[in-house]
């Protein structure tokens, strides 16, 4: 098998740090009487740290309930964090007042998963796109609005006159394009994409992925790209963080994560993804059981209840995300051992 | 696979008669916008122990086509034509007394959304054992419950004996799907139809469920019809695949051959839409436009507005499904060329 990975040129070195996320947590009071009385909390996001560099795409993968979407919402302060810092330059986003936060939103936008629910059905597409300009009068002079709307619509692959129509008159893929045009309206620096293609048909997914890549280059955007589809994340990301039960268990470049996964959860996750090409199939690790509740997560390492490598230490001590979170880091007590770790993928060819 | 196994598989495939034969299945709906055709001329057969995958994007007619087999479509508005033979009985034309003995019994089904398919007010044990009380009158309550426990064991639900009295809300999505599978295999069906059985599940749970379905098929020799929009799932599980678009079959054949050398431009486009490792630094080669809506089905080849290979005749003449190689068919005017390319 040709070594396709090695021949693919990795992207030039990382840009300057743009967003530094430090020990961010979001805990919700647990629902249900008994748990509430016991003071139970849902640790949706627990001490998450990473750095997003200018111009890069940081992919975040994990299964449902691992905290990906909560993390996205916390970073935009659509929900308030329980703790931690998010430094955009010298500013901690979490310390901004309501008013300051509104100004800050110009620099950070979000594209949601559900193109149906995320657009106001009573507004025309033009109204949806220009809404932020009304909030920020200095963003764009009013006389330029209609030209800019036509320009944005064309850029995302819609017709320049589509501004007169309503969201329900568009297909799912087209609605996602409207959501992208809206996110671009204020020239943001960071766009958080929360499962932007998972509601779309395969053929439409590919169109939207291409569009996101094109506008990233054109507008100099940095992406936090959240998705559960591993092949989509590999395609679009420069670096990838893997989450499990509210924590990042491993972070690294896409090559490190996909070609040399070091955390047993990353290894199992990658091996579970069905592949079209027999050469891309990995030896499948079938995990036992399912993700435990985030209300009383397992002591020590949260993955230990399903981990084939777990030992006594795993129940007693939570492994730290070793190393520098701008570089490769792994939260496993045995990440450096040679017990099957850091093994290149086994293509079960022949 | 050892040589002996290959020989045996081939022999079984030749000898065993198809357990289900679908010929020229048609489904149309009467709607306020007129009559629309959702499934058009679908034909296939499946033998014991075989897995046939039905692959397509949303609205391509996958669910409607199996809904017709299972008698799940209300008519009106549905108008159903063609034949679905289970052994010698035509499920679409036999008297209801006869089809009732087959549907849900010899041919059973699991759905995408297990959590809503289960009745929240009844214990899972009751719901599984109901299969016996309804289809096998005379089974004692106790017997039925014991069988429910055995089935829960078989689909690998831990502590089955205790959990048989639990209610659906006490189960996760993956566990609920196991319960649905337990119900579907309770009467040892000859054919199991699974309509997107893992689409609502996480990838590690999907791997567990697909492994379970494969094991059950191997143990029981039932035939499996697997509906999915995920080419990877089809590629790993199905012996043969049928690619649907706009209610029609675009191509069919042994899965390994179809994914290695597709014979239809739509299949090629679909495969190119899934990002692979070696395309990391390239733009994805996409299919332009969007799948058709039933009320505005294109003339000629239903795929022609989006096809990179289309020629003038493609919008005029509808290509019929033609044999392009042993066991392979494609509905494209240029199928031979596409396959050769
Ligand atoms: N009762 C009905 N009346 C009118 N049209 C219908 C009816 N039921 C289904 N359809 C239409 O039939 C077409 C085929 O639908 P079907 O559910 O089989 O698609 P599918 O391939 O299963 O898609 P998905 O991947 O989204 O499940 C769709 O356009 C659908 O809207
Ligand atoms: S018949 Fe024509 S339009 Fe249809 S798939 Fe073949 S080349 Fe494309
Ligand atoms: Mg369906």
What are the residues whose beta carbons fall under 8 Å from the beta carbon of A300, sequence distance 6 or more?
A313, A314, A315, A316, A317, A318, A319
Q: What is the pLDDT of residue A341?
A: 42
State if residue B61 touches ligand 1 by the CB under 6 angstroms criterion. yes
- Residue A115 vs residues A94, A286, B60: alpha-carbon distances, Å: 28, 33, 21
Number of CB atoms found within 10 A of residue B18's CB:
16
Contacts A278 to B, Cβ<8 Å = 235, 256
- Of all protein residues, whose CA lies closest to atom 26 belonging to ligand 1? B58
Q: Which of B 97-156 lie inside 8 A of A, CB atoms? A: none
Span B254-264, pLDDT tens digits: 999 999 999 99
Please give, rounded to a whole number of angstroms, the shortest distance from the CA of A4 to a CA of chain B: 6
Please tell me the predicted confidence (pLDDT) of residue A293: 81
d(CA A182, CA A190): 14
The half-sphere exposure of B260 on its side-chain side, counting CA atoms within 13 A, is 10
For the segment B199-208, what is each residue's pLDDT rounded down to a tens digit?
Answer: 888 898 899 9
CA of B58 to the centre of ligand 3 (A): 7
Residue B196's pLDDT is: 93
Q: Is A331 helix (H, G, I), strand (E, B) or coil?
A: coil
pLDDT of residue A30: 73
Mutate to test the interface with A, among B271, B274, B295 (most CBs of A within 10 A): B274
Contacts of B31 (CB under 8 A, 6+ apart): B77, B295
Nearest to A307 by CA among A344, A267, A272: A267
Q: If you measure from the C-alpha of residue A137 to the centroid of ligand 1, how many angstroms do you get, rounded to a whole number? A: 46
Interface of A with B in 212-241 (CB under 8 A): 213, 228, 230-232, 234-236
Instruction: Dump pLDDT digits (tens) for B89-114.
Output: 999 999 999 999 999 999 999 998 88
C-alpha of residue B322 to centroid of ligand 2, in Å: 13
**CB distance B263 to B338 below 8 Å:** yes
Q: What are phi and psi of B31, to 5 degrees?
A: -125, 165
Q: Is A286's Cβ below 8 Å from some Cβ in B?
A: yes
Q: How far is CA B179 from CA A238, A300, B123, B200, in A?
A: 41, 32, 11, 15
* pLDDT, mean of residues B181-185: 95
Residue A37 confidence (pLDDT): 55
Number of neighbouring beta carbons within 10 Å of residue B163: 18
Sole residue written with tokens 């390492």: A301
Going through B169-321 in order, the beta strands assigned E by DSSP cover 191-195, 223-228, 240-245, 248-254
pLDDT per residue rounded down to tens, chain A (350 residues): 333 333 334 445 678 999 999 999 999 887 665 555 556 788 899 999 999 999 999 999 998 889 999 999 999 999 999 999 999 989 999 999 998 998 888 899 999 887 778 889 999 999 999 998 988 888 899 999 999 999 999 999 898 889 999 998 888 888 999 999 999 999 999 999 999 998 888 999 999 999 999 999 999 999 999 999 999 999 999 999 999 999 999 999 999 999 999 999 999 999 999 988 888 788 888 888 888 888 888 999 999 999 988 999 999 999 988 766 667 899 999 886 654 444 443 333 32
Could you tell me if B266 and B308 are in contact, meaning their C-beta atoms sit under 8 angstroms apart?
no
Average pLDDT value for chain B:
92
Tokens for B202?
A: 């996480």
Distance (Å) from CA B158 to ligand 2 centroid: 51
* DSSP, res A340: S
- The pair of structure tokens assigned to A334 is 């045995």
pLDDT band at B47 (very low <50, low <70, confident <90, very high): very high
Pocket (CB within 6 angstroms of ligand 2): B 265, 301, 303-304, 307, 309-310, 314, 319, 332-334
Which residues in chain A are closer than 8 Å to B207, comparing Cβ atoms?
271-272, 274, 284, 286-287
Q: Are B298 and B310 in contact (CB under 8 A)?
A: no
Give the residue with greater pLDDT, B233 vs A343. B233
Identify whether the C-beta of residue A192 lies closer than 8 Å to the C-beta of residue A72: yes
Asked if the peptide bond before residue B8 counts as cis, ω within 30 degrees of 0, the response is no
Read off the DSSP letter of residue A93: G
* Top-confidence residue, A327 or B236: B236
- Is residue B76 within 8 A of residue B30, CB to CB? The reply is yes
In whole angstroms, what is the distance from residue B341 CA to residue B263 CA? Answer: 9
Looking at mean pLDDT, say which of A8-17, B71-80, B221-230 comes out highest.
B221-230
pLDDT tens digits for B110-134?
Answer: 998 888 889 999 999 999 999 998 8
Distance from C-alpha of A70 to C-alpha of A223, rounded to nearest angstrom: 16
> For residue B61, which atom of ligand 1 is closest to its CA?
18
Cβ-defined contacts of B90-95 (< 8 Å, 24+):
B92/B68
Q: DSSP letter string over A217-239?
A: HHHT-EEEEE-S-HHHHHHH-SE
Whether A292 contacts chain B with CB within 8 A: no
How would you label A191-225 residue by residue, b for 16+ Cβ within 10 Å and e otherwise?
bbbbbbbebbbbbbbbbbbbbbbebbeeeebbbbb
β-pairing, B89-90 with B51-55? unpaired
* Tokens at A136, concatenated: 């920020």
Look at phi and psi of residue A342 and say left if phi exceeds 0, alpha if psi is from -120 to 50, else beta.
left
B3 and B11 Cβ atoms separated by less than 8 Å: no
3-state SS, residue A23: strand
What are the E-state strand segments in A118-265? Answer: 190-194, 222-226, 239-244, 247-253
Rounded to the nearest 10 degrees, what angle do helices A264-272 and B203-220 cross at? 50
Query: Which positions in chain B touch A272 (Cβ < 8 Å)?
Result: 203-204, 206-207
- What ipTM did this prediction achieve? 0.86
For B156, the closest chain A residue by CA position comes to A289
With contacts defined as CB-CB under 8 Å, which chain A residues touch B235?
274-278
**What does the pLDDT read at residue A5?**
37
């Amino acid at each position: 098998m040709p070594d396709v990975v090695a021949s693919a040129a990795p992207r030039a070195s990382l840009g300057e740090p743009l967003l530094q996320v430090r020990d961010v947590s979001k805990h919700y009071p647990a629902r249900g009487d008994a748990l509430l009385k016991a003071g139970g909390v849902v640790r949706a996001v627990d001490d998450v740290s990473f750095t997003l560099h200018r111009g890069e795409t940081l992919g975040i993968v994990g299964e449902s309930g691992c905290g990906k979407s909560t993390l996205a919402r916390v970073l935009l302060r659509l929900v308030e964090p329980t703790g931690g810092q998010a430094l955009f330059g010298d500013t901690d986003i979490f310390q901004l007042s309501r008013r300051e936060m509104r100004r800050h939103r110009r620099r950070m936008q979000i594209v949601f998963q559900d193109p149906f629910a995320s657009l106001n059905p009573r507004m025309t597409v033009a109204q949806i796109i220009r809404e932020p300009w009304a909030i920020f009068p200095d963003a764009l002079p009013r006389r330029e609005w209609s030209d800019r709307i036509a320009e944005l619509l064309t850029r995302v692959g819609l017709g320049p006159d589509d501004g007169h129509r309503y969201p329900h008159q568009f297909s799912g893929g087209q609605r996602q394009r409207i959501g992208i045009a809206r996110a671009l309206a204020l020239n943001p620096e960071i766009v958080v994409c929360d499962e932007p293609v998972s509601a779309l048909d395969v053929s439409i997914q590919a169109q939207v992925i291409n569009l996101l890549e094109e506008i990233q280059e054109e507008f100099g955007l940095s992406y936090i790209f959240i998705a559960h589809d591993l092949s989509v994340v590999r395609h679009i990301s420069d670096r990838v963080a893997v989450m499990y039960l509210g924590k990042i268990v491993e972070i690294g470049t896409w090559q490190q994560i996909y070609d040399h996964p070091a955390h047993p959860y990353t290894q199992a996750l990658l091996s579970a993804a069905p592949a079209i090409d027999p050469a891309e199939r990995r030896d499948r690790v079938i995990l036992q059981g399912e993700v435990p509740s985030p209300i009383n997560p397992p002591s020590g390492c949260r993955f230990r209840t399903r981990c084939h490598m777990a030992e006594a230490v795993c129940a007693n001590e939570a492994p730290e995300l070793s190393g520098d979170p701008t570089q490769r880091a792994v939260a496993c007590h045995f990440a450096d051992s040679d017990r099957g770790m850091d093994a290149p993928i086994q293509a079960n060819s022949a | 696979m050892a040589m002996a196994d290959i020989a045996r598989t081939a022999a079984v495939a030749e000898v065993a008669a198809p357990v289900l034969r679908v010929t020229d299945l048609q489904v149309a709906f009467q709607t306020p916008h007129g009559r629309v055709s959702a499934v058009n001329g679908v034909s296939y057969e499946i033998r014991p122990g075989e897995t046939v995958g039905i692959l397509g994007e949303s609205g391509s007619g996958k669910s409607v086509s199996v809904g017709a087999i299972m008698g799940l479509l209300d008519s009106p508005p549905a108008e159903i034509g063609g034949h679905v033979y289970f052994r010698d009985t035509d499920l679409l034309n036999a008297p209801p007394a006869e089809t009732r003995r087959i549907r849900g019994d010899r041919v059973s089904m699991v759905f995408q959304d297990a959590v809503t398919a289960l009745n929240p007010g009844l214990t899972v044990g009751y719901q599984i054992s109901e299969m016996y009380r309804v289809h096998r009158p005379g089974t004692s309550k106790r017997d039925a419950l014991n069988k429910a426990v055995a089935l829960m064991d078989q689909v690998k639900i831990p502590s089955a004996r205790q959990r048989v009295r639990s209610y659906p809300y006490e189960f996760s999505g993956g566990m609920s799907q196991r319960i649905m599978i337990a119900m579907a295999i309770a009467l040892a069906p000859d054919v199991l139809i699974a309509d997107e059985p893992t689409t609502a599940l996480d990838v590690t749970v999907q791997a567990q469920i697909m492994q379970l379905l494969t094991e059950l098929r191997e143990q029981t020799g039932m035939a499996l019809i697997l509906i999915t929009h995920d080419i990877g799932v089809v590629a790993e599980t199905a012996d043969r695949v049928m690619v649907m678009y706009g209610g029609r079959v675009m191509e069919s054949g042994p899965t390994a051959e179809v994914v290695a050398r597709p014979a239809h431009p739509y299949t090629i486009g679909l495969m190119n839409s899934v990002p692979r490792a070696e395309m990391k630094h390239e733009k994805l080669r996409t299919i332009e436009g969007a799948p058709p809506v039933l009320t505005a089905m294109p003339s000629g080849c239903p795929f022609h507005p989006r096809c990179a290979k289309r020629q003038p005749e493609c919008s005029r003449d509808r290509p019929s499904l033609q044999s392009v190689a042993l066991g392979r068919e494609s509905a494209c005017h240029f199928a031979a060329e596409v396959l050769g390319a």
